[in-house]
Each structure stands twice: as C-alpha cells, then as structure tokens.
Amino acid sequence: MAVVASHIVPRLASSPDGKVVAFADSPFLPTSTTPAAIQPNTRAIAHLTRDVLQPVLVQPNAGASPSSAPDPVPNLKRRAPSAASSTSLNTRFGSFAHSDLLVPAGSQVRSSSGTGFIHILRPTPELWTLSLPHRTQVVYTPDSSYILHRLRVRPGSRVIEAGAGSGSFTHAASRAVYNGVHEKPMSQSGKQPDSEDGLPGNSEIENINKPTHGIPSDNGGLCGKNTTASQTDSQGRVLSFEFHADRAAILRHELRQHGLSDIITVTNRDVCAAGFTLPDQDLDIGGNTYATAVFLDLPAPWLAIPHLTRENGSLSKTKAVRICCFSPCLEQALRTVAVLREQGWVEEDLVEIAHKRLEVRRIGLGGKEVGYKSRVPAATADDELKIGSVEESVGRLKKQLWHRKVKQARQRERAAKKRKLENNGSDDEAHQDDSSDGDMETVEDDERDDATKEETGNGKLHLLNQGRVVVRTEPELKTHTSYLVFAVLPLAWTEADEANARLKHPIPPRPTSQLNPKTGKDYTSGDKAPKPTADGKLSKTQEKKLKKAAEKAARQAAAGANKSATS
C-alpha cells in the first residue's frame, strides 16, 4: 500500500498574468484538519434563498489570484468578470466584500450597506449541482446518488465517465472514490512531477513510488511483474471523457480551482470512435483505465459499449464491472439493452427516477397558512382574492352580530334599572346602579376587544400549534427525466478456473452409509440424514444416536435368540 502524507498540501496554480497562486486543500473533500472558516482562493457557495444558490471563488486580493470564471471561449461566449466585481459578490440582497466571506462555513454575512444578508456555505457536490454554470443538461443529485449506489462505487474505485458536460456527476463521483490518496505519486527522487497543466509539484509529501505498467492488482491498481504491494496505485480515480474540446478545457479549469485535478482526469476524445484506453504514459494510471464502474451519458451509448472490454485494458480483469447508461428516450434505452446483451453483459435493468419535494404546511381557520408567507401564483390570484373577500364579509357579519348582542344587553340592563327605581324610588340605590352600570360597560368593552383580537388573528386563537397539517408535492420536477439502464459484466469462468476453485475449496467426502437397524432406512439421505462436519465426519450427537440404535438392535437380537432357544 502506498505511503501517503497525513495531510493534504496546498495546490499551486498559475494565473493568466504569470503569477503563481497557492490553492488550498479541496473544499469538496474536508478532513479533520480542514479549517472551519472559508479560506482564500477557495470555492464557496452563497445561499441566497432556498432555491437560489450562487458559487463564488473567494479572492480577497484580486491581483494575486486567477479569475473565478474559466478562460473565455469564443464558442461559448464567456466573458471574464470586471475588476470591480472580482473582489466582491453582488446579489439582490446587496454587495458583499470577499474579505467579509472569510468566516466559518454556515455563518450569516451582512452586506456592505447592512440592509441584507446571505449565508456562506462550504461547497459540496449537491450544492455545486444546484449552482454550477450550465453548459449542458445536468445530472441532479437524485439520479447521481442512485447511480453511484447501483454501480457500487466506493473509496479506491475507478470510474469511467463519458460525457462530462457541466461536471455535476464528475464532482459527485470524485467524493465517492476519494480514499485519502489525494496527491499524485512522486518520482524516486522524492519530488512530485509537474502536472499536465504545468503546475509545479510539491516536495513536502513523503515519497510514493510511481506504479509500473502491467496487469491490474486485486485492489484496482496496476502491478508489474516485479512490483510490490507498496508500489501499486490504490488511489481512487474518475476518468472523464468529453467530446467537446471547449467544455473539456473549462471543466479542467474548474477542477484545478476546486483542488480535484489529481483525482479526476479529463480527456477530450470521441469514445464512440477511439475507445477508452489512455496510451499517454505521462498519466499516472498506467496507460489503461481498468475501471470497475462505467457511466455513459452519450447520445448513442451503443456505439461506445463495444470498446469496453477487458482485453484492451478498459475494464478491470479481476472484478465484475457495472455500467449505467443515461438515455432520455425509451428507444435509446432499448437499443442500448440489445447491444449490452450482444457484448455479454447480464442483469439488464431499466429504472426511471421521479423526485419531488414534499412541502409541509399548517392550515389555520379560513384556509390560510399559519406562520408562512406564501407566494400566490398568477393563475390562482383571483381565487385568493375571492377567498379574502368572503373572509372579510364573514368578519364584518360577526362584528355586527356582536355589537347587536351588546346593545341588547345594555337595553335589558337599563330596563331593569328603571323598574328597580320605580319600585323603591331611592336615589342612593339609583347612584349605586349607575356605578355598577359603568363597571358592566367596562367589562363589555374588554370582552369586545378580546373578540376583535380573536377575529383579526392577533389573539390566542391563531397559534402555531393549531390548525390542520397538510402535505403537498411541488409542481415541478427538480431532476433530469431520463432512463437509467444498468447491467453487469461478470468475470469469465473457464475450466482452469473451475479446477483451481475445486483445489482451493474441496468438496467434503460423502459419509459412509448409515442404516437404521429398526427400519432399515439409510440415514445418509433424506431430510433426516446426518449432516457431516467440514472434515466429513459426523457430529458427536449423531454418533451417540447411531450407537444407541445399534446397541438397542443388538439387545433385541439377543432377546430373540434366547427366546427361540428356550422354545
């Protein structure tokens, strides 16, 4: 097993003006030693609202770091950001200086004017999928997570991806295969070789022997005839292929910014015509892929499937290989299944994933949502106005009924006082009645205020724990609707493999025939047959039972002989 440094050293990159900039560890792969705060020259995600995320490359000093956007490409019409916006993040909630974003991940950051705020987050493949610049259609998290699960991608695996596009699935696969071996192997002199982008190496990592080109080892690496286990390449890798040259260049630029260029290898190639082998000996993967998982996001995956063979080094020679083809049309999926069967793939499976978010709301009296400021769509605005007018009418009727009841109560009280005064004619009693009438009016005013509060929703009637809880699904799908075709390519099993398996796992010999002396049945067959142990012998309990049966049969035979002799 290769010797790896205990921590990841910063990456180095060159800016367009020739300056050398140090990139920190990959924020997509945090470790126990990763700082909690956002570091300079690293990617972060600005959380504006629940559905609006914006990526930002934090650059406190604009002159010392490269642009946050990829280099301009004429075909894609990309423009470099202006110098004013390179050190600040401008959103609808205000402007945020990059120096203010160097805070612990998850913190709330106020704008320069103090009128708005955002939350700054550490990037993850899920957040990057929701915020990345779309160059092609994106494989969203519901699809990518299920695909990686079905392909059994684990730390140390090698994954082939054809059709990188915007790099959504590429980032998700890089986290799945990452096993701690992040830096490239170094030469025998202890100095890391320069990368394909001309980035200088780093000599602070311990010496890791470069793997020798040869056959794949059991752990997915490449071993030569004279290599040892410490010289094998056990690093998990994502081998990505992209037909469009400009998209491949932009993806390489983003991976360098994210610190993932040592895990992901991007190759500009038409895999339908040239296949998946990598004859470039400068790549630290032995010139072959030897992958155990394949993901094809191509318009015609059936043209690339014949190039996936163990003979040309594309697939692993020691493990079963699993494949997933991402096809938007059912006709494409059916044609892919037919070609997979012709090439020896088995266990074909067609899956479609429909992902919807469940929204939980509490509906109060009158059909209003409690504790939530809902956004009314334009199509339902008239219905909401109608509901509001009806509720207002009901409220006015309730108020009128209340005032009528209060007026009637006062009239009854006045009539009672008048009758009482006529009966006794006492001024003192009349004075006392006037005072009690004032107290009663005060109580009635308080009751009226309480009733008004209950009607307007400012009292104790509209509490958050009251109302009916309802659940609804969001109206729009948040995933790319496509068909997923899965298949497995098992290992070839020859007569020699069968003979070696028999030598390694011999079949225990059949026990000797055991007859029941009473019934004459063979105990070595049937449901009640004695089960031999691994060495082919019977258990002690079974031996005791057979011994008792033999002794009983001998006693019966002796008794029969004595009986015949006496007679």
Give the per-residue pLDDT at 374. 47
Give the per-residue pLDDT at 373. 52
List pLDDT tens digits, range 131-158: 998 888 889 899 999 999 999 999 989 9
Give the residue-averaged pLDDT of 538-564: 81
Give the per-residue pLDDT at 459. 44
The whole-angstrom distance between residue 458's C-alpha and the CA centroid of its chain comes to 43
Structure confidence at residue 510 as a pLDDT band (50, 70, 90): low
Give the per-residue pLDDT at 128. 92
Q: Angle at Cα 512 formed by Cα 511 and Cα 517, nearest 5°?
A: 125
What are the phi and psi torsion angles at 171 (to 5°)?
Answer: -70, -40
**Is the predicted pLDDT of residue 257 greater than 70, yes or no?**
yes
**What is the rounded CA–CA span in Å between residue 363 and residue 233?**
59
Structure confidence at residue 206 as a pLDDT band (50, 70, 90): very low
**What is the rounded CA–CA span in Å between residue 168 and residue 157?**
18
C-beta separation of 117 from 145 below 8 A: no
Structure confidence at residue 507 as a pLDDT band (50, 70, 90): confident
Higher pLDDT among residues 487 and 402, named by residue: 487
Give the per-residue pLDDT at 298. 93
List pLDDT tens digits, range 518-533: 566 666 555 555 556 6
Give the per-residue pLDDT at 188. 35
Residue 128 falls in which region: left (phi positive, over 0), alpha (psi -120 to 50) or beta: alpha
Give the residue-averaged pLDDT of 232-239: 76
**For the chain, what is the mean pLDDT?**
73
**What is the rounded CA–CA span in Å between residue 551 and residue 517?**
10
Give the per-residue pLDDT at 307. 93
Give the residue-averaged pLDDT of 476-487: 79
Domain residue spans of the chain: 1-123, 360-473, 509-567
Residue with tokens 């009226």: 448
Question: For residue 123, what are the contacts with CB-CB under 8 A and spacing of at least 6?
Answer: 27, 28, 43, 44, 45, 55, 258
Give the per-residue pLDDT at 292. 92
Question: For residue 238, what are the contacts with CB-CB under 8 A and spacing of at least 6?
Answer: 159, 161, 170, 173, 174, 177, 263, 264, 265
Q: Any alpha helices (H) in 425-530, and if so which ranges?
A: 427-456, 495-504
Structure confidence at residue 242 as a pLDDT band (50, 70, 90): very high
Give the residue-averaged pLDDT of 485-514: 85
**Is the predicted pLDDT of residue 18 greater than 80, yes or no?**
no
List pLDDT tens digits, range 405-453: 888 888 888 888 888 888 876 555 545 555 555 455 554 555 555 555 5
Structure confidence at residue 293 as a pLDDT band (50, 70, 90): very high
pLDDT-above-90 percentage for the chain: 24
**What is the rounded CA–CA span in Å between residue 334 and residue 328?**
11
Nearest Cα to 320, choosing from 157, 495, 485, 500? 157
List pLDDT tens digits, range 319-369: 999 999 999 899 999 999 999 999 999 999 999 988 888 888 887 666 666
Structure confidence at residue 238 as a pLDDT band (50, 70, 90): very high
Give the residue-averaged pLDDT of 156-179: 92
Give the per-residue pLDDT at 515. 65
Give the per-residue pLDDT at 306. 94
**What is the rounded CA–CA span in Å between residue 490 and residue 494?**
12
Q: Is the pTM of this model over 0.85?
A: no
Give the residue-averaged pLDDT of 244-248: 91
Q: Which amino acid is at 546?
A: L
Give the per-residue pLDDT at 549. 80
Domain boundaries 1-123, CATH class? alpha beta
Structure confidence at residue 37 as a pLDDT band (50, 70, 90): confident
Give the residue-averaged pLDDT of 224-229: 34
C-beta separation of 230 from 209 below 8 A: yes
**Is the predicted pLDDT of residue 189 greater than 50, yes or no?**
no
**Is the predicted pLDDT of residue 186 greater than 50, yes or no?**
no
List pLDDT tens digits, range 61-75: 755 444 444 444 444
Pairing state between β 158-162 and 237-242: parallel
Residue 418 CB neighbours (<10 A):
12
Window from 175-179, 289-293, 381-385, 411-415 with minimum mean pLDDT: 381-385
**Is the predicted pLDDT of residue 385 greater than 50, yes or no?**
no
**What is the rounded CA–CA span in Å between residue 103 and residue 39?**
8
* SS3 readout for 69-121: CCCCCCCCCCCCCCCCCCCEEEECCEEEEHHHHCCECCCEEECCCCCCEEEEE
Residue 279 falls in which region: left (phi positive, over 0), alpha (psi -120 to 50) or beta: alpha
Give the residue-averaged pLDDT of 534-555: 77
